[in-house]
Chains A and B, each alone.
Chain A
Amino acid sequence: MTALRVIAQGLAVPVALAVAVIAQLAVVNRLPLPGGTGPDLVLLVVVAVAVSTGPTTGMLAGFAGGLALDVAPPASHLAGEYALVFCLVGYACGRARQAITHSAGELTMWAALALMAVGIAVGEAGKVALGLMLSDPNVTGPAVKHLLPVAIFYDLLLCPFVLWLVSVVLRRPAPAGAPRPELTQIAAAFRVASAGSVGAVPKLRLAGSTPLPARPPARQEPKLRLSGTSAAFSPAKPGVGGRPVKVNFSQASPAAAKPRQSTSPGKGWVRAARPSGQAAPRRSSPGKGWLRVTRPTGSPVSNLSSPGKGWLRAGPPAVTPAPKFRSPGKGWLVAGRPAAAAAPKFTSPGKSPGKGWLRAGRPAVAATPKRSSPPKGWIRPAKPVPPPRRKSPGRGWLRPAKPASRNVYAKSPSTRWVRHSHSPWPGRRRRLLALMGGRR
């Protein structure tokens, strides 16, 4: 990203806020709209910025926008009221966005809109509540009863447009459904990967092809951790070396060098490579971990936009299914399908990269005798037939899924799938029903 673009992005939010303030005062407030009031553009922009960036930007934008509304000429309320409310709302929306992206991995359009709606309602109510507390003569019970629903209604009407505009202004992809710039990143990564694999097949294979004794399963620097976590992944390790491709990937990504605090939740299957005991139960939820791994930098959106990085760095980067990369979950599955380019090289089961790949992603516990022949099953997945793919590696993480709809998972295990698989409610519902039935 060039410096110019950084400056432009930094200026985008202040400019958007200034435009919103002026438009609010000079246009919206003067329109004789039915209902006696109009939308609050500044609140809309603040909430949209918070939802599409994060708590820091949200709270700063909220304070600035609120203060501008407080002191711009026709304002008759006390200076600082809206600054206080908008600051809190921006921070809360940013935090909620962070929480959602951390748990679900991706902020869908509907989630963003719902979050915006809640933030707007809270913001409007907060303005009113503060006015009532400060005994503003204009903010009285009947007035609130008249105006609050109307204001929220107008705000909700404008919600999608403002969200869209803000995401355009911030030059980031809309939470969902918008064109994904990550396709270009993935395509570039794949180009690098395939170029590397042409001349340096063994390097690519190293991910899995090294014989077992050379690498104990529970070693401290598993390949997958290299991609996501930073520490163990250094090219200075000649013992594990001979993998310049992976090394290069990690170095190419600025995120790899960052300390991972919140970005490496450890829940994921990548950490499963670590010899920690808690990896086993969590491996039932692979998508989550995968998503988290791909989010190593500060801004989740841009990271989410390139889900392929995580597993590309992890090792087998042979296939280029760019057009299919709409959802990160897909990418994960495609990751298991590296055979298209490298299939001829994986013919021998002992050398199959899938083995190594799998081992990297699994704790030592998973090293069952069946794993001696994994390539058949799921390295070949280039074939469009899902069942063989799911045979050997699926044991670990695909088994919790419903076996009947495996095709669905093979095709689009999107975040919905991931979330669904995480949801505690089916189990609770079942237990509740059992409880009720037992009482009867």
Chain B
Amino acid sequence: MHEARWTRPVLVMLLVAAIALITLDFRAAGSSPAHAIGADVFGPVERVAGAVASPFESIFRTASGHQSGEIADLQKQNDQLRAQLAQAQVAAQDQAQLSQLLRLTDASHLRVVTGTVIAAGGAYSDTVTINAGRRQGIAPNETVLNGDGLVGVVTAVTASTATVQLATDAASTVGVRLAGTGEIGALTGTGATMTAPRELRLTLFSATAALLPGQTLVTFGSVGGRPYAPGVPVGEVTQVTSQPGGLTQTALVTPFADFSGLGVLGVVVSR
């Protein structure tokens, strides 16, 4: 057969090319130009495809009983109230610290750009793409939230799309503090090790602070509000898993946002 003659050399070439790509990307920590080129090529297509697919997806969601009818509305309202409560707690109980934090960020200049999810990553990555990008003022390392709470952080942008790393991604770490006590900790995603609903793992840096189920967490905030704006509600402690005698305390946290049904997301743009 004619293909036997040049199939092997081409195969070897392709394999070498793939390994070279992997190497380059590995050295660049996953941000090689290949991703940028791919985003520029596929971004516009995904915008169209996402717009086309959204109605079908919502039909599927409704048909499968996911977020259907009154229950979904009530659930959403409940989440919103809980988020407001968390913010109110922050405001009431820790106003001094919060104002100090807010002084770090120029809060008056914060504004939120919204975008809709148009594509999602595969089984082993908790990432989504939204249909808003550089043109809308989005830049990498900006906080992403929805009506319920923290969603993630922008990792890459093209002219018209932005890629969001969700807080559940195993590579994501968010600085948080307990709404009531102000104790600080780090919240790490668990990736796909958890079946839905996915929980986050909290590491509280204080070994003696009170850590109880039901406590809510808000983001600690970063300098300039990037990557995380302060005071965004994140989730609720559901199970304390710390071992006695440890230097830190650990717990499982249920996020407020429903990561399996993300729709409209807001990006906190810092200018």
B-contacting residues of A (Cβ < 8 Å)?
Answer: 21-27, 29-32, 35-38, 40, 54-56, 59-60, 63, 66-81, 83-84, 87-88, 91, 98, 127-128, 131, 134, 136-140, 142-143, 146-147, 151, 261-263, 298
Given A75-B127, A87-B14, A138-B192, the answer on whether A30 and B57 have CB atoms closer than 8 Å is yes
Asked if B129 and A263 make an inter-chain contact with CB atoms under 8 angstroms apart, the answer reads: no
Q: B-side binding surface: helix, strand, loop or mixed?
A: helix
Residues of B within 8 A of A69 (CB): 122
Chain B residue with the shortest CB-CB distance to A148: B123
Given A32-B66, A83-B21, the answer on whether A76 and B2 have CB atoms closer than 8 Å is no
* Most B CB within 10 A of own CB, among A78, A88, A131, A136: A78
Given A31-B60, A73-B119, A74-B129, the answer on whether A22 and B18 have CB atoms closer than 8 Å is no
Asked if A71 and B124 make an inter-chain contact with CB atoms under 8 angstroms apart, the answer reads: no
Given A55-B7, A140-B170, A140-B193, the answer on whether A73 and B14 have CB atoms closer than 8 Å is no
User: Does B79 sit at the interface, judged by CB under 8 A?
Assistant: no
Asked if A25 and B46 make an inter-chain contact with CB atoms under 8 angstroms apart, the answer reads: yes
Chain A residue with the shortest CB-CB distance to B169: A138
Residues of A within 8 A of B129 (CB): 25, 73-74
A128 to B50, CA, bound (A): 27
Asked if B261 and A32 make an inter-chain contact with CB atoms under 8 angstroms apart, the answer reads: yes
Given A74-B129, A79-B35, A87-B14, the answer on whether A30 and B123 have CB atoms closer than 8 Å is no
* Most B CB within 10 A of own CB, among A35, A36, A66: A36
A423 to chain B, nearest CB (A): 26
Asked if A32 and B64 make an inter-chain contact with CB atoms under 8 angstroms apart, the answer reads: yes
Residues of A within 8 A of B122 (CB): 24, 29, 37, 40, 69, 75
Residues of B within 8 A of A37 (CB): 122-123, 192
Residues of A within 8 A of B261 (CB): 32
User: Does B96 sit at the interface, judged by CB under 8 A?
Assistant: no
User: Does B183 sit at the interface, judged by CB under 8 A?
Assistant: no
Asked if A261 and B50 make an inter-chain contact with CB atoms under 8 angstroms apart, the answer reads: no
User: Does B89 sit at the interface, judged by CB under 8 A?
Assistant: no
* Most B CB within 10 A of own CB, among A66, A80, A298: A80
Residues of B within 8 A of A74 (CB): 119-121, 125, 127-129, 163
Given A56-B3, A87-B14, the answer on whether A73 and B20 have CB atoms closer than 8 Å is no
Residues of A within 8 A of B15 (CB): 84, 87-88
7 closest cross-chain pairs (CB), A and B? A71-B38, A80-B21, A143-B192, A84-B18, A37-B123, A29-B120, A79-B34
A109 to chain B, nearest CB (A): 23
Residues of B within 8 A of A54 (CB): 1, 3
Asked if B169 and A72 make an inter-chain contact with CB atoms under 8 angstroms apart, the answer reads: no
Asked if A79 and B120 make an inter-chain contact with CB atoms under 8 angstroms apart, the answer reads: no
Q: Which segment of B25-33, B98-106, B210-218 sits at the interface?
A: B25-33
Asked if A80 and B193 make an inter-chain contact with CB atoms under 8 angstroms apart, the answer reads: no
Interface string of B150-169 (1 = CB under 8 A from A): 00000110100101010001
Jot down 9 A-B pairs with beta carbons below 8 A, ordered by A: A32-B260, A37-B123, A55-B7, A74-B128, A76-B171, A79-B38, A88-B15, A127-B124, A138-B126
User: Does B53 sit at the interface, judged by CB under 8 A?
Assistant: yes
User: Does B19 sit at the interface, judged by CB under 8 A?
Assistant: yes
Interface range on chain B (Cβ under 8 Å from partner): 35 or more
Given A55-B3, A87-B14, the answer on whether A76 and B30 have CB atoms closer than 8 Å is yes
Interface string of B20-55 (1 = CB under 8 A from A): 111011100010101101110111011001101100
Given contacts A37-B122, A73-B163, 19 further A-B contacts (CB under 8 A): A22-B42, A25-B49, A27-B56, A30-B57, A31-B57, A72-B38, A72-B119, A73-B161, A75-B38, A77-B125, A80-B21, A81-B22, A83-B18, A139-B124, A140-B193, A143-B124, A146-B193, A147-B192, A298-B2
Given A79-B35, A87-B14, A138-B171, the answer on whether A143 and B127 have CB atoms closer than 8 Å is no
Chain A residue with the shortest CB-CB distance to B261: A32
User: Does B111 sit at the interface, judged by CB under 8 A?
Assistant: no
A91 to B45, CA, bound (A): 28
Asked if B121 and A56 make an inter-chain contact with CB atoms under 8 angstroms apart, the answer reads: no
B168 to chain A, nearest CB (A): 10
Residues of B within 8 A of A27 (CB): 49, 53, 56-57
Interchain CB contact (< 8 A) of A59 among B14, B39, B123, B125? B14
